[in-house]
Amino acid sequence: MKKKIVVAITGASGSIYAKLLLEKLQQLSAQIAEAAIIMSDNAKEVWRFELDNELYNNFQFKTYSKTDFMAPFASGSAKFDTMVIVPCSMGTLGRIANGISDDLITRAADVILKERRRLILVARDTPLNLVHIRNMQTVTEAGGIICPAIPSFYSKPKTIEELAMTVINRVIDLIGLENESYRWNE
């Protein structure tokens, strides 16, 4: 069954993760019924700073404003089954953990959780304080998945993109898409 996926991008450092996920989703588009993008204003600034481009405008998926509460996934009736927030700032995580739906990103996350669908937060901050950890616990207990942007090294990545891709391949697995990637001991 094809997936309906929302990708939200916040202003945390780690735009490379969002870029790689969107590129991978385009490659796997045969498995996707619909995909949508939401970006915070800070996400656009961080993307431009970290990646030296504005390619976030060039993906084949429909983009929604963070204030567009008429977006289909702002309601459970649209049946989007997965939302990935990549990278996920600690501020966004905190608002989700506390039920504060003050923009489309947090509203969509709230909908995904209330409908018992898959919410994946690619948390990108270090070190963590106790508030962050408790917010992660709250989201996990509500059914969300915390997938920290912690790359693996056993595939022996040679570039920054290959290293970041180790995180994105885990996200693709968590979404439930078929994907050719390194598997342990292969």
Whether pTM exceeds 0.85: yes
Q: 168: closest CA among 185, 186, 143, 151?
A: 151
> What is the model's pLDDT at position 180?
87
3: its two tokens: 């997936």
Question: Are 119 and 145 spatial neighbours (Cβ–Cβ below 8 Å)?
Answer: yes
Percentage of the chain exceeding pLDDT 90: 95
Percentage of the chain exceeding pLDDT 70: 99
pLDDT for 185 beyond 80: no
Give Cβ neighbours of residue 62 (< 8 Å, ≥ 6 apart). 35, 36, 37
Kindly indicate the confidence band of residue 120, based on its pLDDT and cuts at 50, 70 and 90. very high
Kindly indicate the confidence band of residue 106, based on its pLDDT and cuts at 50, 70 and 90. very high
> What is the model's pLDDT at position 171?
98
Report CA-CA distances (Å) from 32 to 1, 24, 35, 60, 113: 8, 11, 7, 12, 21
Beta strands in 44-115 (DSSP E): 62-64, 82-88
Tens digit of pLDDT for each residue in 84-100?
999 999 999 999 999 99
Residue carrying the six token digits 């204030």: 67
Domains in the chain (CATH in brackets) are 3-175 (3.40.50.1950)
pLDDT for 154 beyond 80: yes
Report CA-CA distances (Å) from 144 to 54, 71, 78, 125: 30, 21, 19, 18
> What is the model's pLDDT at position 183?
82
Comparison of pLDDT for 1 and 7, the residue scoring more:
7
> What is the model's pLDDT at position 163?
98
